[in-house]
Amino acid sequence: MAKILVLAELKEGVVQKVALELVSKARTLGEVTAVVLGTGAGAQAAILGEYGAQTVLISEDAAYTTYLAEPGAETLAYLIEQIAPSLVLIGGTYDGRDIAGRVNAKLGSGVITDAGEISFEGGALKVTVPWYSATTIVDVTSPSNAPLVMVKPKTFAAEKLEGAAVPTVEKISFTPSDKSKRARILETVMEKSEGPSLEEANVVISGGRGLKDAKNFELLHKLAEPLNAAVGATRAVVDSGWVSYSMQVGQTGKTVKPNVYIAVGISGAIQHTVGMKGSKNIIAINTDEEAPIFKVSDLGIVGDSLKILPALTEELKKRRG
């Protein structure tokens, strides 16, 4: 049976959801060992077991939360050499990308990014990867003995394993070297946000250049309130400084799959749609009836969003009393 190693990242001491998604997928491929590094690692082992991890390797060395990716990369490289897994799964997060690049440099293992489906055929790894802004899907493999495969959040569902056994928990007998402790984290700044996160929201409302001015994003926030929705944006408006990068949806931003996605003043460039086309229902509002966004929409509204949004918000408030 294939041995699958999953890097389970922590955020404020809690295992990130993408790690549970990776473990859920990994258990369909083989025997799952999760690696958890940082303060609180031990407390997260049982949760990973519920999703199918059979073994959880932990270390609560302060180096993982005090320094940037180097201690984590050094430790993961050590574990790969010791365990010799068939596959290493890493979440496509900021830290995950940093660690994967460094491990690849240490081991020459190769990195496959933005993985879609993952399987073994005849013992050989097969990964589907979107190319050219997801206009083409290609099959990729790796000659490496332990290829690193990065997966964006929400690519797979996080599903608990019925009847899952309690995982075996082992402490990692490796201490990061002083050489890896060079880039220290001086401050962590939490960006204030209201309402649900983009990744978790049931409804997402995103705005593009069709809103004409940064101040008009307030119309999206007003509509989001009665819908309990999250507000996103295209890269164009993020690059223009209208809103923060954390709100960007698309190829170089976040991938979302809500039940309802409302695209306001968004033309539908493929760099944006690859991050939202997995939404269950897509509604588009645009003045240009030829806008590409309508090709991926379930409901299209041709009109001025600056007039439609206030009217829609008012109607929702009336209906909700």
88 is in an annotated binding site: no
d(CA 54, CA 166): 7
Binning the chain into helix, strand and coil, the percentages to the nearest 5 are 30, 25, 40
75 is in an annotated binding site: no
d(CA 154, CA 12): 20
72 is in an annotated binding site: no
275 is in an annotated binding site: no
Helix (H) or strand (E) holding 299: strand 299-302
246 is in an annotated binding site: no
d(CA 266, CA 284): 8
Pairing state of beta strands 118-121 and 203-207?
A: unpaired
269 is in an annotated binding site: yes
248 is in an annotated binding site: yes
Strand ranges across the sheet with 124-131:
118-121, 124-131, 136-140
Q: Which of 275, 283, 317 is nearest to 302 (CA)?
A: 283
235 is in an annotated binding site: yes
| Sequence-distant (≥ 6) Cβ neighbours of residue 177 within 8 angstroms | 74
| Sequence-distant (≥ 6) Cβ neighbours of residue 290 within 8 angstroms | none
209 is in an annotated binding site: yes
d(CA 264, CA 309): 9
Q: Which of 117, 110, 65 is nearest to 88 (CA)?
A: 110
265 is in an annotated binding site: yes
271 is in an annotated binding site: yes
Radius of gyration (Cα) for the chain, nearest Å?
21
d(CA 274, CA 254): 10
Binding region for FAD: 209, 234-235, 248-252, 265-272, 286
Binding region: 209, 234-235, 248-252, 265-272, 286
